[in-house]
Amino acid sequence: MDVQTKTSRREWLRNTAIASTFASSSLVPESLAFNGDSTVGTQFKIATFRFDVTPPKGHPLCGGWITPVKSVSDKLEAIGYVILGSGKPLVVCAVDWTGILNSAHVAWRTTLAKAAGTTPDRVAVQCVHQHDAPFVCIDAEKLVSKQNDALIIVQMDFFNSCLEKAANAIKEALPLARPLTQIAQGEAKVDKVASNRRVAIGPNGKITKMRGSACKDPELIALPEGLVDPFLKTVAFYEGDKKILACHYYATHPMSHYGQGNVSSDFVGLARKQRQKEDPNCTHIYFTGASGNISAGKYNNGSPEARIELTQRIYEGIIASEKSLKPEPINGISWKTHDLFGTINPLFTKESETTLLENKKNIAANRIRPAMRLAWMDRVQSRTPVVLSALHINKTSLLHLPAESFLEYQLRAQKLQPARFVATAAYGDGGPWYIPVKEAYPQGGYEVSVANCADDIDALMTDGIQKILST
């Protein structure tokens, strides 16, 4: 395969679908604008924002391979915050979508950056990964649209309207920025939610079957939880003694049941909304941790009743983690990034994926997924990086990872900085799809079969995490 760079990074960015109307100058008030990276003598401020990202009736869900929108059970949101006073503004946002991939992710970060008066490398956009929600790759959308046979991943007018809402939400929030004086951390164990998907391993060391998000197989249900991170972590921000923002982190696929065309933020979103309703003066955000190999399958049979039970368990975890919050004055804020250049899984070639895309006998999923792989291959060739980032405040580090990272990356991050409180949000740039650890590749299984990167991604990810966690 020819790996010569065909387009420059600048050209690739210019070709994204972000509308020029969102490239307007920043509306950050002069009194809130900061230059340089020094935190000495500055007053930190924080502004929170939220906006609706619910797709319209008929819009594709989960990338176009499940039933499109028929109804809305509860609305989807994008919720985030802007920190001012530590160099250029910092933006972090969680989106109730399945995923945002490649140039779509660049478009989101670019839009939020311009609205906040900063640069895209100082913006983290993480999806929560519900499945009755949009799964957006505008590069793949261009490929499927050329097939002229009703394949669709995303309606671009809807996508662009969400970018417009994002810009407006930030611009409206900035003048309302409040002093940011204290931070607190808490955690609590969550019972009977997370379970490892890759627990059925045969005598040959291969995965025999997967315990998915919902499971009715008695043999798989009976198997142990496997490797999980049982703790829900909360990081809270304060103005004096007033809690104004609480960020909650937990590692599991956030699906109870899906696929019938009924849009929902699912059990993690419903738990967040329950907490928000009873604590309206504080903005609550939920981040899904590194859970490419984690689901609720052991404890979820896919019934409506199970959704209610899982919602309650996450909600109880949020409440318990907040009980241990002990605010302390903020003495420093920093932001670190690392450009990750992924490789291509040798399972895939441009020829094989193009053949699958063009085969009209294939079901939609088996044509759209190859289009997403082709988009990743083009990105690798163009040398456009996936950006890892970490926000450091006192002894707390908020780590932002891409795609469906395996739990092991989250656990490694915590071990790399045992003296710090490390909270991990995954499902950032979804271009790589699943990101297994190296030892998972010879085991096979679903996650490896759809991972866009080769097994060297393990070393690249671990190196990047180590660099941005160093303070």
Predicted confidence band of residue 336 (pLDDT cuts 50, 70, 90): very high
Q: How far apart are CA 370 and CA 350, in angstroms?
A: 9
Predicted pLDDT at 95: 98
Query: 408 with 401: CB under 8 angstroms?
Result: no
| Structure confidence by residue, pLDDT tens digits, 163-202 | 999 999 999 999 999 999 999 999 999 999 999 999 999 9
* Torsion, CA 125, CA 286, CA 98, CA 190, rounded to 10: 140
| Structure confidence by residue, pLDDT tens digits, 371-426 | 999 999 999 999 999 999 999 999 999 999 999 999 999 999 999 999 999 999 99
Predicted confidence band of residue 42 (pLDDT cuts 50, 70, 90): low
Predicted pLDDT at 150: 86
Question: Which range is least confidently modeled, 36-50, 261-275, 445-459?
Answer: 36-50
Chain-wide mean pLDDT for the chain? 91
